[in-house]
Each structure stands twice: as C-alpha cells, then as structure tokens.
Structure 1
C-alpha cells in the first residue's frame, strides 16, 4: 500500500477517535445530558423515597420542601396543556439559562438557573430538542408556594456561548459540574441565603426532611475527598458508594451520573481536586 494511502487511513482513524460526537444528533446529545450530568429527572420525575422513578419520566416531580418554599417541579414533556408542548426551542433555552418563562415569569428555587447560565448554545438547544422529542404526558402538578420574595431575575440575556474545550480537563470538569449544579447542595449559604463562594464544596447543607447533610467534596484529606483515589471518586459519583463501602443517599444523583462517559467523570474529578481544601 502506498505511504500516502497509509497516512490518509491513519489520519481518518485518528480523526474518528478525537471527534467521537461528530455524528451525534442534538436529540442524542440532549438525552445524554438530561439523563446524565443535568439529572433533570432527579427533580422532574415522580420518585419513591429511595429515588426509584415511579411514573413517566420528566412528567413532574414530588414536592421539594424547605423553610422557604414547597416546590413542585413541573412537567417537562411536550404535553400542550400541562407541559412544554406550546413552547418553542428558544423559549425552553431561555427558561433554562435565563430563568424566564414564555409568559414572563421568573423561575424560582430550587431550579438552578444560576448554574445553567454558562451552558453552551449547543448543549442548551440539545436539551430542548430532547425534551421536545419525548412522548407527551398529561400531568398537571400542584402550584408551588413560597415564603420568600420572588427574585428579580438572574442577570438578563446570556448571549451566545460556545462549546467548552474537552481537552482542557479542569475547565471542562468545571463546566460539567456547573451543569450538574453540584454546588447547589454541597456549598453552605451566607447570611443572605446565597451560595457562600468562600466555602465552595464544603458541604454541611441539610437536604429534605430525612436529616441528610451533604458531605464535604473539597480535597481536604481529613474532612473531604482529598485522600480518595480517582477510582473511589468515580465510584461515589457513578455507584453511590464511598471508599468505606457505605452508600450515598438521595438526592445524590448517582444513577444519572452512572450513564456518563469515563472521560466526563474524569474531568469532574480533575475539577474537584482543584477546589480549595476546607477542613470542616
């Protein structure tokens, strides 16, 4: 075989390896994100207490209660009366990244809009495409109630956002962790109820009414995950198992994270190792 033909064949094979998602459709990408790192069903699907989905996925979730609100995650299927069936892709993306519905309402907690504002155009529209591809399910969830003022918004239009570079492992891991809204549960709030960035990943946040306190995920070797191997972090993320064999409780979305690629789990691990170690 001529040398030029050999090199051409090798180049084609290499290109296929470094661009595995070239043939991935928006719906396929959206499915991967919604059922993986974004773990939308963790709130928007009906569930048993142990986290098992007990009804049509993404048709509306159980009540989420806190001292500030009782929220009912809405139906994300394309049912025209009770879901997103009358929304355009642009309107879905605006709701995800800017927290504003087609009728001008501001989405309220626990919807993690602040973490979604950095989502790339491709990924946001892929999620919209996937949600629009679902079978419509008619399910009207109860109205949420709040004991706190409505936020004025999340900062306005986000503009065009390019895809992150997966070759920058830490930056890509940060991007995925933002989409996974990890710090929504794993970071304490300040006196005003906002994420305390000085304690990013320190845990200690009560979740639900079962006495669950989120763990420290900073690289502190005693109080956090600094002494864990990459494999042990991957097991916690994708199997819900700590190094000592104990199991993580819901709402830790490990069944969703278990669908992610090894590359993406590795990127999240690399990002977590860059957090400031916090001994608490």
Structure 2
C-alpha cells in the first residue's frame, strides 16, 4: 500500500515538474517572439554601427536618442549583466520598469520608452518578456552619460496597473494590441496635442519629425485616408511596407522603423495589424 502511495506521489511530482517546464518553455518562446519581433526592443537597446547592429552586443545599450528641445536619452543595458545591466533586479522590478516606467530606486523612466502604451501589455506577455530578457547573454557594457529632459516628466504615469488580460480574440482587437501596447506603432505615427502628448483623437494620422542619424524622418499617416494615408494601399502593400520596409512604388523606407524585427512577425500578426489599420478613421 505504502509503495503504491509513493509511486502515485512520484508520478504527480513528475507531472507537475513537466508542466512547470512546459510553461517556462512557452513563456520563453513567447518572450522571444515579442522582444525579437513586433516589440523590437533591440531597435533602441542594441548599439549600432555603420553596418547595423554591433555583433555580440544585443540589448547592451549605449544608443543615444535625441529629440532637440525635448530630451537626450541614453539607452540602458538590459542584458542580465550584474554590474552594468539588469542582473541584480528582481523579476518584479524588471516588469515594473517595462510596464510602469519605474526603476528600483523609484526614479521615473522617460521617453522614448512609450510607457503610456506599455501599461496595456498583458500580464502573460509581460511575464514572457521578463523570462526572455533573463535568458539572453549577459553583456558587460557600462553605458556612459545620462539622460536629460527639457520637457517636464510626470510624477507618475498613472496608478499601479492591475490585472491586464490578453486582447479579445478578434483580428482588430489583436491588431490594436500589436500596434499599441506591444509594438507602439501609434506612438510615432500619431500627432502631438497642445500639451505635447499624443492626440489620440487622431490616432495614426502621422507623427512629428524624428531626429535620426540619417536626418529628420516624418512618420507618415497610416489611417485609411486615400489622399493622405494608406487607403490606396493593398493588404499586401501594407504587409510588405511593415515587414520589408518597401513602399508600394518600390521606394526603400527609412529607419527608425524596425524592419529587421518586423520581418520576424508571423503572417497572422501582420494580418491582424492590417485589420486594425483598416479600422481606423480615415483622418486627413
């Protein structure tokens, strides 16, 4: 009888252990698909050279992003290095920094981190991103300098975020989630309002000029307006522009759109994104 009980307990522990390992693997895979895909974290957090991203420096920080008159941001190292990265942060601290813009010392993370949108990242996806960031190689890279803001930062981005579920299972809802909280497309492609924040009543109608190493870039209108937006583009045109950086007329589109990352998006994700963009009001 006792041997039978032990056998049952051993089998239960084996099943429980297998379930935990399966869940970890699922989170890791999801985190990789987000960080290395539509979220494109390395677009800012991986240092660049003349030929693109520096080898062996994935997510090691150091890139300087400037918006004249607004801010000069030095992008941090988010690898698990204990001295120069996030190695000494707890999972909860990493999650809080991503979704609420708060460092362990209580200080606020400023732009270009789109915290207003990241507050909508679902709990499971946030956990997946943390698991993946823990898995990448630790790179020792002490980021020099510090960020400076001419624009006022808020004391907080809002109350503590509660439970955030995954989006409703419709193409438009999934696409809105990708374009908003995860991929933050609408952060760049939406005009600013009188107070300097995004004018969400005109979501997707084109953003203010961005200063880049290649010169100023103006994020275009991505609403279905036929005159000013992408209303005359086919679904294939939109998918190609996002994942390959090629306009319908064959022109190569400019950075900072993260085309090498978006190229890893699944066809279903691109289809959802198209459905969402088609659903926006056609805004001039």
- TM-score clears 0.5: yes
Shift of 1:23: 9.2
Change (3 A) 1:228 1:22: farther
1:108 touches 1:151 (CA, 8 Å); kept in 2? no
The CA distance in 1 between the partners of 2:110 and 2:207, in whole Å, is 23
Partner of 1:206: 209
2:223 touches 2:283 (CA, 8 Å); kept in 1? yes
2:192 touches 2:207 (CA, 8 Å); kept in 1? no
Going by fraction, where is helix more abundant, 1 or 2?
Answer: 2
User: 1:31-60 CA distances to partner (integer Å, 9 max, x unpaired)?
Assistant: 11001111101111111367x212411000
- The DSSP-based 3-state class of the residue aligned with 1:71 is strand
- The DSSP-based 3-state class of the residue aligned with 1:213 is coil
Unaligned runs of at least 5 residues, structure 2: 1-21
Partner of 1:184: 187
Q: How does 1:222-237 map to 2 (within 5 A)?
A: 222-237=227-242
Unaligned runs of at least 5 residues, structure 1: 1-20
- The DSSP-based 3-state class of the residue aligned with 1:207 is coil
Partner of 1:253: 258
Equivalent residue for 1:218, pick from 205, 216, 223: 223
Shift of 1:164: 2.2
Count of residues in correspondence between the two structures: 257
CA-atom RMSD in angstroms: 1.7
Change (3 A) 1:144 1:160: same
Change (3 A) 1:24 1:225: farther
Partner of 1:53: 53
1:99 touches 1:107 (CA, 8 Å); kept in 2? yes
Equivalent residue for 1:102, pick from 101, 104, 114: 104
Moved more, 195-204 or 65-74: 195-204
1:33 touches 1:39 (CA, 8 Å); kept in 2? yes
The CA distance in 2 between the partners of 1:85 and 1:174, in whole Å, is 33
User: 1:77-111 CA distances to partner (integer Å, 9 max, x unpaired)?
Assistant: 01111110011111111111111111111111111
Change (3 A) 1:198 1:45: same
Change (3 A) 1:163 1:76: same
Change (3 A) 1:24 1:217: farther
Q: How does 1:15-34 map to 2 (within 5 A)?
A: 25-34=26-35
Partner of 1:124: 126
1:46 touches 1:59 (CA, 8 Å); kept in 2? yes
- The DSSP-based 3-state class of the residue aligned with 2:116 is helix
Shift of 1:197: 1.5
Normalising by structure 1, report the TM-score: 0.88
User: 1:120-162 CA distances to partner (integer Å, 9 max, x unpaired)?
Assistant: 1110010001001111111121211122223211112111112
Partner of 1:17: none
Partner of 1:266: 271
The CA distance in 2 between the partners of 1:44 and 1:103, in whole Å, is 21
The CA distance in 2 between the partners of 1:198 and 1:164, in whole Å, is 21
